[in-house]
Amino acid sequence: MTLTTNNPAVTPQVLSIHDVPANRRRGGDIRTLLSPATVGAKSGFLGTLTLRPGEFVSEHWHPYSEEFLYCVSGQVVARLDGEHTALPAEHGLLIPIGTRHRIVNDGDETAFLVFHLSPLAPRPDLGHVDTEPLPQP
């Protein structure tokens, strides 16, 4: 299949989660797959999150972006502004702009999720605000 685009600055690309390194800074295995840095995306970014039992992504919030989170397999609990919301497999969750959130796998199987954030922050360093200490490696 040939892909075409009307935007000459962005070339359609296919990437695997194995093509990008894991980011474990906030916990779990986060892989930013389609982003400005990897494919020249202009409006947002997409990635995956793998959380083994007991792992979590530390609490943070996004001042410019809403986050779409889809649980492919396993299950997690999202703490949204202090309230707990279950996110089982085959369910999605919208995390509005400015909502503090922490994702925890309190189950007994590995959880695999896909996320998308949009719109982009003006600069990458403005995209996340951490609200708790980051996990130790």
CA distance 28 to 14: 24
- Whether residue 42 is contained in a domain is answered as yes
The alpha carbon dihedral of 77, 60, 135, 47 has a sign of: positive
How much is the average pLDDT of 65-76? 98
pTM for this predicted structure: 0.89
CA distance 94 to 117: 10
Q: Which residue has the tokens 């703490």?
A: 79
Asked whether residue 1 carries a pLDDT value surpassing 50, the answer given is: no
DSSP 23: B
- Whether residue 68 is contained in a domain is answered as yes
Domain that residue 114 falls in: 25-125
CA distance 75 to 111: 6
Total of domains in the chain:
1
CATH of residue 89:
2.60.120.10
Asked whether residue 136 carries a pLDDT value surpassing 80, the answer given is: no
- Whether residue 43 is contained in a domain is answered as yes
- Whether residue 111 is contained in a domain is answered as yes
Q: What is the pLDDT of residue 6?
A: 57
Asked whether residue 9 carries a pLDDT value surpassing 70, the answer given is: no
Contact 39, 10 (CB under 8 A): yes
- Whether residue 104 is contained in a domain is answered as yes
Percentage of the chain beyond pLDDT 90 is 86
